[in-house]
Amino acid sequence: MEAWTLEVGVGELLLDFCMVGCCLIAGTILRRFVPFFQTFLIPASLIAGFLGLLLGPEALDLIPLNTERMGAYVYHLLALTFICVGLFKTEEKHSWGVVNLGYMQVSIMLLQGIIGLGIALLVAQTLVPDLNPAMGILLPLGFAMGPGIAYSIGESWTAYGFENAGSIGLTFAAVGFLIAYFWGMMMVNRNAQINDNQSVPTYIRTGVREAGDYPVGSFQTFSGAAVEPFAVHVALIGAIYLITYWVTVHLASGLQSIGLGAEIPVLWSFHFIFANLIALATRRSLLRGTRGTWMDNQTIHRLTGTFAEYLIAASIMAISLSIAIRFVIPMFLICMVGTLATYYFLKWTSEMVFKKHVFERFVGIFAEMTGTISSGLALLKVVDPDFETPVPQELVLSSGMALTFGFPLLILINMPFTLFGGSTSGFVIVLGIMVAYLLAVAIAWYGYVRKKRKDQASD
């Protein structure tokens, strides 16, 4: 994978870190003082990303941000984020809300994939003959799965002739973020439960807490006289990422030895899955019981948030505007139809399945399936400021279920290249398999709802 072999000097790395950091500070200030950003709860990292894109070489060329390096940072930050997710201790609850939201997420991933690939195939056969139909598959990667996965898998397709797929995936993700916050907040403001945005707590709108209102962010599980606790947590994440690299390298060597060297780029695009599994195994084996008491959940949460902030900012800065403009028509069609389908499907299923907290679940899952889980939680914070409903925890836990059942989709979307050499017939076959997969999920979901309906009648 090019992100592993990309040569970056120490000076370039530090300057990039500083410039992205400065954009994050500027984004935080803009969120603090600009009412427009407060109204739609636009996160500082998203503001920072578009600010860097505007000031970078793709627009005004005022700061020396390199889009290729930004893409590489997105690739690595994705794995670091998934390591934190694997290390985080959660309560294993599979409640009515968790399971149904999980089914909704998997269904949307498939629905977006079907719509995106279907439109891309149609456009490629009629309007833009040189369009790679795989562009349509980037819709669920950018919307439902996030910029890191969209870039990681899209970049691996360059080995099969789909140039700039990683940048296109990031463009889809950027559009998804805008939809999540702008459309999401319009839904929130139209909702009868909260018509006045002034009722939102001030610190949520501005992003800055007042003195005396500082919650505990983490606990020190080591003595500072011996070692800084934060440093130990960072070291653990680094050690797991090193093991991830070692495992992936040896798997790649194994593929090469059996004549499957062409599959190596796809293997490297799944490095975040390996990172998550190794982190999960570390927590459940080496760090189980009293051996893991030194690992502070709040510190892991802070690190997850930090990596995510830089990932989102860098993902916007890595967008190639020239590529986005070149394919603006098919991308617009895919995003428009995909957004409408996501909205109406989630609205319909939320009203059909749930009897309580319907709007909270709908707006949360809509924002997550167009942005990230952070987008969903941000909008939930508006309608449920104190997180008194079970919906925030349901969103977090259902994401794990969706990742499990959605993993076959990650394998499936690579099949047009790995099995069919990028032929049109290969994309058509994969489209048919996705339709069949969606039907199977719908049948399983219907069976679950029918079986549990009596027990959950009061939900």
pLDDT in tens, 344-372: 999 999 999 998 889 999 999 999 999 98
Q: Is residue 459 included in any domain, yes or no?
A: no
355 phi and psi, to 5 degrees?
Answer: -115, -20
pLDDT in tens, 262-306: 778 888 888 988 998 899 899 888 777 777 788 898 999 899 999
Mean pLDDT of the region 132-156: 94
What per-residue confidence (pLDDT) applies to 49? 96
What per-residue confidence (pLDDT) applies to 1? 53
Buried b / exposed e along 304-316 (16+ C-beta atoms within 10 A)? beebbbbbbbbbb
Report the domain count for the chain.
1
**CB neighbourhood size of 162 (10 A):** 21
The residue range of the domain holding 125 is 2-200+222-452
Q: Is residue 216 included in any domain, yes or no?
A: no
pLDDT score of 107 more than 50: yes
What per-residue confidence (pLDDT) applies to 198? 47
Q: How confident is the model at residue 86 (pLDDT cuts 50, 70, 90)?
A: confident
What per-residue confidence (pLDDT) applies to 454? 64
Task: Calculate Rg over the CA atoms of the chain.
Answer: 22
Instruction: Judge whether 105 and 398 are in contact, CB under 8 Å.
Output: yes
pLDDT in tens, 156-203: 998 888 988 999 999 999 999 999 999 998 898 887 555 554 467 788
Residue closest to 160 by CA, chosen among 266, 233, 76, 255: 266
pLDDT score of 393 more than 70: yes
> Tokens 């090193």 — which residue?
242
Q: Is residue 403 included in any domain, yes or no?
A: yes
343, amino acid identity: Y
Buried b / exposed e along 186-195 (16+ C-beta atoms within 10 A)? ebbeeeeebe
Distance, CA of 415 to CA of 427 (rounded, Å): 8
Q: Is residue 213 included in any domain, yes or no?
A: no
Q: Is residue 214 included in any domain, yes or no?
A: no
Task: State pTM to two decimals.
Answer: 0.90
Q: Is residue 206 included in any domain, yes or no?
A: no
Q: Is residue 291 included in any domain, yes or no?
A: yes
Distance, CA of 334 to CA of 112 (rounded, Å): 9
DSSP 242-284: HHHHHHHHHHHHHHHHTT-GGGHHHHHHTHHHHHHHHHHHIII
For residue 123, what are its two tokens? 């456009």
Q: Is residue 334 included in any domain, yes or no?
A: yes
Instruction: Judge whether 185 and 40 are in contact, CB under 8 Å.
Output: yes
Q: How far is CA 151 from the centre of its chain?
A: 11
Instruction: Judge whether 230 and 299 are in contact, CB under 8 Å.
Output: yes
> Tokens 């501005």 — which residue?
206
